[in-house]
Structure 1
């Protein structure tokens, strides 16, 4: 499905897309063909539970076992895309801390050199999108807000992600990730994983080049044209810094 109409509005505590106060206020609202998706930080139980159910459903569909719960964690920001009371997309940003990253279980030797150079590192985990959502803009919105949290609120420069080898080309082509380490067994999902790395400076440059152009971008088939425009990004950064 191609997004024919897309507008964005920096959230002002809106709960319009679900009609209740059981979700946290939206960070930004994305309107696609008369449907409004609110991008939120999942900081209330109902929203975390909805994100957990979506993750478990989509991971089971891909053949990954386990009960994937989104719990309370001061070092994790879970984002959701919801409309009409239903969470249809979620992505979490895991910040480095004394307990490390989940990726350290398999790839610590690949991540530690960046720590040794003084870089602040983080990782993206638990991405799940309902298959009925075929909009690049919703997926791009989750990644963009995660980038803002990493870069502007937590001063991270390197963003890691573990992916199944068959998904690596998506992240390379769509988000400019690079392979940091080739495939290794990942016991958490009982499947092989490749470690990819994204750089926030590269993301910033790509946003300046094409963000906000959507379907009108020429010669760029990545997700970056569906990121928020630099002007919209500035509004989101200001809002997030204001609410802490």
Structure 2
């Protein structure tokens, strides 16, 4: 079976005292006894991984009263699902949806806003189906999922902007912690049967924040964002190389600025 591991990351305490150098995944995987517990970020490319991610999504959505659905059984080039695991337990997941002839899920409610980005020559993706196990008290897990998703979208697919649909009560969190901006008004999202606001992030801005704060968790004491928990430039370069080696055809796609006919793609 192909190894879909992207990176292994120490939890906060170990990371603050001894940053992991991820230039070589194999060497970082041999340090567990010295640095303590690590969680793994990988692509959910097997039925078991996707099933575990779906179970977590449905569990966490149900606790908030949201409607949910399982991840599609078939992988597609337009979607990459990431999972964070602690040993064999899935503790987090995030899916990147890339623009295509089918459009984005966000087009169902916010086609005017997404088309405005496309018309401005911006290539767009979306982050969907984010779930973190409620028992996990680690900003590192959330930050690592977001950073790997940023790498897939911006560094490897040359995407300009990412949009997300969030509950109105979570808007301030994404604005403060990652720099998202409100791009569309509150509307009812039928996929989760809950209100949603469209947020947009210029990935160039995100990249500048990563360059400034990534790999410097001590800055979290003064910088109220997730960026100090992101990877350093050296670590990021190692992740990029590993993704390029493992999935060059999927990840290294040329820029597309075409404006697809917006259609609703089922979650």
Correspondences of 1:1-244 after superposition (within 5 Å):
3-6=12-15, 7-10=19-22, 12=25, 34-71=36-73, 72-243=75-246, 244=248
The alpha-carbon distance between structure 1 residues 224 and 120, as it changes in their structure 2 partners (threshold 3 A), is same
Q: Which has the higher contact order (CA 8 A, sep 6+)?
A: 2
| C-alpha contact (below 8 Å) 1:5/1:32 kept by paired residues | no
Distance 1:30 1:74 in 2: 33
State the secondary structure of the residue aligned to 2:85: strand
TM-score by length of 2: 0.81
Secondary structure at the aligned position of 1:5 is classed as: helix
Which runs of 5 or more structure 2 residues have no equivalent in the other structure? 1-10, 249-267
Q: Deviations over 1:128-171 (max 9, x none)?
A: 00011111111100000000000111110010000000011110
Alpha carbons 2:213, 2:219 under 8 Å: kept: no
- Residues 32 and 61 of structure 1: is their aligned pair in 2 closer, same or farther, counting only changes over 3 Å? farther
Segments of 5+ residues of structure 1 without an aligned counterpart are: 18-28
- Deviations 1:162-217 (CA, angstroms, capped at 9, x unpaired): 00000111100101000001211111111111000011100111011111111344
Question: For the Cα contact (< 8 Å) 1:5–1:31, is it kept in 2?
Answer: no
Provide the rounded CA distance (Å) in 2 between the counterparts of 1:30 and 1:109.
48
User: C-alpha separation between the residues in 2 aligned to 1:31 and 1:175?
Assistant: 33
Which whole-Å CA distance do the structure 2 matches of 1:12 and 1:225 have between them?
21
Deviates more, 1:211-220 or 1:105-114: 211-220
| Deviation readout 1:2-48 (Å, 9 max, x if unpaired) | 9222143536479x79xxxxxxxxxxx99997221111011111111
Aligned-partner SS, 1:38: strand
Q: Cα distance 1:211–1:231, how it changes in 2: closer, same or farther (>3 A)?
A: same
The Cα RMSD (Å) is 2.3
2: CA distance between counterparts of 1:66 and 1:81? Answer: 20
- Helix, strand or coil at the partner of 1:192: strand
Q: Identify the structure with the greater strand proportion.
A: 1
The more displaced of 124-133 and 62-71 is 62-71
